[in-house]
């Protein structure tokens, strides 16, 4: 836009700028120019210093108010250096001395357009940075929320596993007590059997010893009891008590090779892969750990 009360100057601007394939509006009345600026946005506004009703210097703050991104260029005479400096202090981008050549006008106009383009790019980059920062903040909040959920889930799973372990121990204890309550009457019945009367004391001692050892093993290490079969559990108990393979075979009335097979199966089920590691030491350590835990 060109604001100048000289129609010849306005025509000169329109012709020159049209030749450079740009659009130019010109207004002679400064009040009408303000009304136009309220409704339209211009990249560059040329203002003559000397205008009727209101001066060009007085227009600068008002134009900056309505069109803050427009570049204002004040037009002055050759002797109006101080006015030009004052215009720059009021917010004008540049000044153009009259009379001027088309080449000078083009140079001043192009500087103003380049400056406005650069400012627009900076504004765009700033907006993109703000959007990126907001996205990063939202992403961080989502990650923190997921981390909180994972921690809560892990805590719940830990409590669940602890409850399962306690329930398993309680079940095993109930099984042992039930076994004892069922087997004890059976022992009494065997003792009353006339045909087994002479073996009553020996049978009573063996069976009760087996029950006590089984109950002790299951109470001290329920996981081992749940993994091994009854026979393997019995052999594991004897191994823990220090009996050799031959001694276990004699006590259980089986062959030593059968005991060795059971020993291999026990090691496999308990995942003892190191052949140098003593099975008895392993069972003793499990028993000691369980006692310490219960204490």
pLDDT of residue 170: 76
How high does pLDDT run on average in the chain?
A: 82
* pLDDT > 50? residue 220: no
Q: Which residues contact 156 (CB under 8 A, 6 or more apart)?
A: none
99 upstream amide cis, omega within 30 of 0: yes
Residue that has been written with the tokens 């993994």 in this structure: 227
* pLDDT > 70? residue 195: no
State the pTM of this model.
Answer: 0.48
More confident residue, 219 or 115: 115
* pLDDT > 70? residue 22: yes
pLDDT tens digit sequence for 96-119: 988 888 899 999 999 999 999 998
* pLDDT > 60? residue 134: yes
With helix as H, strand as E and coil as C, how does 181-227 read?
Answer: HHHHHHHHHHHHCHHHHHHHHHHHHHHHHHHHHHHHHHHHCHHHHHH
pLDDT of residue 26: 92
pLDDT of residue 180: 63
pLDDT of residue 261: 93
pLDDT tens digit sequence for 229-279: 878 888 888 888 889 999 989 888 899 999 999 999 999 988 888 878 888
* pLDDT > 60? residue 209: no
pLDDT of residue 41: 87
Mean pLDDT of 145-162: 86
Q: CATH code for 2-100?
A: 3.40.50.2300
For a pLDDT cut of 90, what percent of the chain falls above it?
30
The ranges assigned to domains in the chain are: 2-100, 161-294
* pLDDT > 90? residue 1: yes
For a pLDDT cut of 70, what percent of the chain falls above it?
79
Mean pLDDT of 267-293: 78
Per DSSP, the three-state class of 71 is: strand
pLDDT of residue 207: 59
pLDDT of residue 93: 93
Mean pLDDT of 177-197: 65
Measured at the CA of 105, the angle between CA 103 and CA 111, to 5 degrees, comes to 105
């Amino acid at each position: 836009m060109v604001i100048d009360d000289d129609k010849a100057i306005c025509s000169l601007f329109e012709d020159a700028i049209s030749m450079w394939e740009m659009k130019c509006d010109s207004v002679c009345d400064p009040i009408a120019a303000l009304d136009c600026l309220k409704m339209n946005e211009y990249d560059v506004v040329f203002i003559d210093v000397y205008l009727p009703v209101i001066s060009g210097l007085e227009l600068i703050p008002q134009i900056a108010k309505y069109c803050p991104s427009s570049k204002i260029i004040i037009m002055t005479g050759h002797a109006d250096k101080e006015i030009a400096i004052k215009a720059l202090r009021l917010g004008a981008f540049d000044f153009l001395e009259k009379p001027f050549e088309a080449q000078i006008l083009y140079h001043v106009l192009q500087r103003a357009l380049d400056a406005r383009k650069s400012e627009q790019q900076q504004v765009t980059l700033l907006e993109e940075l703000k959007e990126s920062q907001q996205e990063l903040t939202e992403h961080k909040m989502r990650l923190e929320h997921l981390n909180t959920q994972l921690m809560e889930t892990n805590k719940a799973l830990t409590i669940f596993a602890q409850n399962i372990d306690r329930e398993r121990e309680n079940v095993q204890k109930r099984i042992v007590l039930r076994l004892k309550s069922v087997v004890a009457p059976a022992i009494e019945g065997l003792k009353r059997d006339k045909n087994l009367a002479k073996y009553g004391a020996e049978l009573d001692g063996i069976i009760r010893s087996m029950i006590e050892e089984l109950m002790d093993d299951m109470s001290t290490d329920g996981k081992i009891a749940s993994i091994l079969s009854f026979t393997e559990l019995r052999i594991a108990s004897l191994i823990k008590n220090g009996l050799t393979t031959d001694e276990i075979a004699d006590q259980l009335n089986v062959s030593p090779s059968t005991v060795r097979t059971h020993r291999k199966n026990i090691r496999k089920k308990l995942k003892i892969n190191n052949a140098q590691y003593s099975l008895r030491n392993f069972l003793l350590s499990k028993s000691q750990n369980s006692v310490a835990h219960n204490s």
